[in-house]
A and B are shown apart, each in its own frame.
Chain A
Amino acid sequence: MTVLEFSLLVCACSLIAGLVGALTGLGGGVVLVPLLSLFFKVDIRYAIGASLVSVIATSSGAAAAYVKEGFSNIRIGMFLEIATTIGALLGATLATHVSTHAIAMVFGVVLLFSAYFARKPRSLAERAVPPDPLATRLRLNGSFPDVDGERTYNVQHVPAGWSLMFGAGALSGLLGIGSGAMKVLAMDQAMRIPFKVSTTTSNFMIGVTAAASAGVYLSRGYIDPGLAMPVMLGVLAGSLLGARILVQMHTKWLRLGFALVIVLLAIEMLYNGLSGRI
């Protein structure tokens, strides 16, 4: 394959990954690395570098639209970014020391987890919980616009949420993904932050987390411009397009289909990692 053919093909696939990622709310990063390493036979380290760059692009590109709605909580975001950036630095450093087989297998497990998360409906439970002393001291409690005026919420289980965020950051740094699913899990499930606040704040955090590991990847030579160019431009275009048409689409079947694709990719990654092909 020539450089031109390769770039066009990778760009088209990245566009689809970004589009479906935005429509399902799962992000495109999680399918990009398996796609590049399994089908385009790209070394997984180059694939991770390119994916990480595209994650920053989607996160920052979408944030502009989200922040105007007033859902994201910058204090929660900044406080938890201490955990995700430290985790990301460690994850990226770890990635340069462990074998590619191990990375492929961890990736497979994370894909299975993402597929499970993709099928799970989001929680909409009303939460009237008393304020937690630590969360109050850290000024994490907030409010967001709802149909009948501002609704306030009290953040719970700060240490558990912080630890999960550290894990999410480490995975992001190790695998070059946004790990949005785990971030939302930490905020929505552990810290009891309303779903809409969790997802928008998570999106805001993904770019900062990825930037923390991108420095390590760049200096270790993992980010190849020839590969990152079509991936980044494709994913960015796809995710911007996805955000536009999201409102008019019924995404239930799409989520189910995407979950199935993720499971298949997970099995491939695990098999290739175990047999030493990646």
Chain B
Amino acid sequence: MLPGRSWTDQRIENVLGNLLRAGVLLSALVVSIGGAIYLLRHGHSPVDFRVFRGEPADLRDVRGIIGDTVALEGRGIIQLGLLLLIATPVARVAFSIFGFAQERDRMYVVFTVIVFSILLYSLLGSA
């Protein structure tokens, strides 16, 4: 392996690492804010997760979650934080496409685009 290339690899990985950390911290912050609102409003209600009912429609897709967040719904804000968390590795993959393109590594640009498409399909296609 050429020394120049391995240096670029390392640099890309450092950017990726920081991206992941920032994404996780941001999502943990949003989840905490939503959690605080949720506990303040519903902390004394009885809990029940024994029976699976599935989440209401507004907590299942991006549009509904953003709507709930704007309405300052605790559960909606938590879900927004979780959405940010799920988006973090997806952003990492998107950045890798750019990284491999910089290195003119066509084969890995193709591989990364495949992974990115699968992730997008899961997030958008199944909604």
Does B13 contact A67, Cβ atoms closer than 8 Å? yes
**In the complex, A45 Cα to B61 Cα: how many Å?**
18
Does A60 contact B96, Cβ atoms closer than 8 Å? no
A151 CB within 8 Å of chain B? no
**Among residues 222 to 278 in chain A, which have CB atoms less than 8 Å away from a CB atom of chain B?**
222-230, 232-233, 236
Q: Given that A85-B118, A208-B89, A229-B35 are known contacts, is A72 also in contact with B82, CB under 8 Å in the complex?
A: no
Count A/B pairs, Cβ under 8 Å.
Answer: 216
**In the complex, A66 Cα to B28 Cα: how many Å?**
20
**In the complex, A82 Cα to B111 Cα: how many Å?**
7
Q: How far is the CB of A148 from chain B (nearest CB, A)?
A: 18
Does B49 contact A225, Cβ atoms closer than 8 Å? no
A81 CB within 8 Å of chain B? yes
Does B122 contact A142, Cβ atoms closer than 8 Å? no
* Overall SS of chain A's interface: helix
Q: Which residues of B are found within 8 Å of A61, using beta-carbon distances? A: 20-21, 24
**In the complex, A1 Cα to B9 Cα: how many Å?**
51
Q: How far is the CB of A58 from chain B (nearest CB, A)?
A: 9
Q: Which residues of B are found within 8 Å of A230, using beta-carbon distances? A: 35
Does B90 contact A139, Cβ atoms closer than 8 Å? no
Chain A proximity mask over B108-120: 1 for CB below 8 Å, otherwise 0 = 1001101100110
Does A226 contact B9, Cβ atoms closer than 8 Å? no
Q: Given that A41-B49, A61-B24, A227-B49 are known contacts, is A3 also in contact with B39, CB under 8 Å in the complex?
A: yes
Q: Look across to chain A and name the residue whose beta carbon is closest to the beta carbon of B18.
A: A64
A118 CB within 8 Å of chain B? no
**In the complex, A78 Cα to B113 Cα: how many Å?**
10
A43 CB within 8 Å of chain B? yes
Binds B, one of A119-127, A188-196, A213-221: A213-221
Q: Interface residues of B, CB < 8 Å — how many?
A: 71
Q: How far is the CB of A57 from chain B (nearest CB, A)?
A: 6
- Could you say which of A67, A218, A222 contacts B86, with CB atoms under 8 Å apart? A218
- Could you say which of A60, A70, A222 contacts B89, with CB atoms under 8 Å apart? A60
Chain A proximity mask over B35-67: 1 for CB below 8 Å, otherwise 0 = 100110011111101111111100111000000
Does B89 contact A223, Cβ atoms closer than 8 Å? no
Give the interface of A toward B (CB within 8 A): 1-7, 40-43, 45-46, 53, 56-57, 59-61, 63-68, 70, 72, 74-75, 78-79, 81-82, 85-86, 88-89, 92, 138-139, 142-143, 207-208, 210-216, 218-230, 232-233, 236
For the complex of A and B, the 6 pairs showing the least CB-CB separation, nearest first, are A221-B54, A215-B122, A225-B78, A4-B43, A221-B55, A64-B21
Would you give 23 A-B contacts (Cβ < 8 Å), ordered by A? A2-B47, A3-B44, A41-B50, A45-B52, A60-B89, A70-B13, A74-B96, A79-B108, A85-B122, A89-B122, A208-B90, A210-B89, A212-B122, A215-B119, A215-B123, A215-B126, A216-B126, A221-B54, A226-B42, A228-B31, A228-B78, A229-B35, A229-B38
New A-B pairs, 8, CB < 8 Å, besides A60-B88, A85-B118, A215-B126 = A3-B44, A4-B43, A7-B35, A53-B82, A74-B12, A74-B13, A74-B16, A225-B59
